[in-house]
Structure 1
Amino acid sequence: MPDITLLIVDDHPVVRDGLRGMFSAAGGFEVLGEAADGRQAVALAEELRPDVVLMDLRMPGGDGVEAITEISRRGLPCRVLVLTTYDTDTDTIPAIEAGATGYLLKDAPRDDLFDAVRAAAQGRSVLSPAIASRLVSRVREPRSGNLSTRELEVLRLVARGTGNREIARELFISEATVKTHLTHIYAKLDVSDRAAAVATAYDRHLLP
């Protein structure tokens, strides 16, 4: 059986070195390359065509969600397995919606990570237990406008007339992430634009 090929994406060289060493020592895996940000990840994914991309989320120079979105848009055959320290809804949901096959936290045991990569290579979804249980709870919630803390922050800025670029700058996120939050806000409030979202939020006392 051929080795599973990997592209490691993380802005910390020490993390990339550690993952490369771990997979090389395990056998059955081949690390084809490393990327330090999302833009480089997309370019290398297209060039190297790995089976699995191990993707960090928050990186300067292009975040993971943007990279996952672009990899999906280009129709690249690789599976993306998110490996990050962030487990909030504002991180997990956009990553999965963008096309990530799985989502693991960096404190996952080594064998769990190996198993997750094997599963991802076969196209099977893998979620860390904490994330899986939260996603199930979220799906079971009624669509009553239960906005996350970050979604409320975005909506408060929208209510002040702040544009997407300024919201991104103020919250230290990308414009693409702002748009993703707005999409979720519209869906939860059952509206189709900014003005309606703000009006509905005031009606439901979600905004002061």
Structure 2
Amino acid sequence: MKLFVKLEKRGIKSYILILSFSANRIDVYNAIDAGANGYLLKNCELDMLLNSLKSATNGLPVFSNQIHQHLNNRHQYQDPLSSINKT
């Protein structure tokens, strides 16, 4: 994820698309928070992958259905570790 920050600091404009097996909420949130423009799961249908890649080339954000649901419900999610008192 540090790559996103390095690109941004250098003024490099690019579209960051994550292609991953992980649908873990934390992985998704970390990628989006770090600057990813899209997140597709590797097990998505070929048609969806091709259509998403076409949309990405036009600068549109693209997400697999499961990832889209995670992002829509993000405000409802509370990290279970957030309640641990850090001393």
Fold agreement, TM-score > 0.5 = yes
Question: Could you tell me which residue of structure 1 aligns to residue 56 of structure 2?
Answer: 120
CA RMSD of aligned residues (A): 2.3
Deviation per CA, 1:136-159, whole angstroms, max 9, x where unpaired?
1122x28xxx224xxx2x986xxx
Matched, 1:101 2:23: no
Question: Could you tell me which residue of structure 2 aligns to residue 81 of structure 1?
Answer: 17
In 1: Cα distance, 2:50 partner to 2:12 partner: 22
In 1: Cα distance, 2:28 partner to 2:5 partner: 14
Question: Could you tell me which residue of structure 1 aligns to residue 79 of structure 2?
Answer: 147
State the Cα distance separating 1:89 from its structure 2 match: 1.7
State the Cα distance separating 1:104 from its structure 2 match: 0.3
Gap runs ≥5 in structure 2: none
Question: Could you tell me which residue of structure 2 aligns to residue 91 of structure 1?
Answer: 27
Question: Could you tell me which residue of structure 2 aligns to residue 18 of structure 1?
Answer: none
State the Cα distance separating 1:84 from its structure 2 match: 0.5
Question: Which structure is larger by alpha-carbon Rg, 1 or 2?
Answer: 1
Question: Could you tell me which residue of structure 2 aligns to residue 62 of structure 1?
Answer: none
Deviation per CA, 1:41-74, whole angstroms, max 9, x where unpaired?
xxxxxxxxxxxxxxxxxxxxxxxx1222322332
In 2: Cα distance, 1:136 partner to 1:118 partner: 23
In 2: Cα distance, 1:111 partner to 1:85 partner: 17
Question: Could you tell me which residue of structure 1 aligns to residue 8 of structure 2?
Answer: 72
Question: Could you tell me which residue of structure 2 aligns to residue 198 of structure 1?
Answer: 86
Matched AA of 1:119: S
State the number of aligned residues: 87
Matched AA of 2:25: D
Matched AA of 1:77: K
Query: Relative contact order (C-alpha < 8 Å, sep 6+): which is higher?
Result: 2
In 1: Cα distance, 2:56 partner to 2:2 partner: 20
Deviation per CA, 1:172-193, whole angstroms, max 9, x where unpaired?
xxxxxxxxxxxxxxxxxxxxxx
The percent identity for this pair of structures is: 29
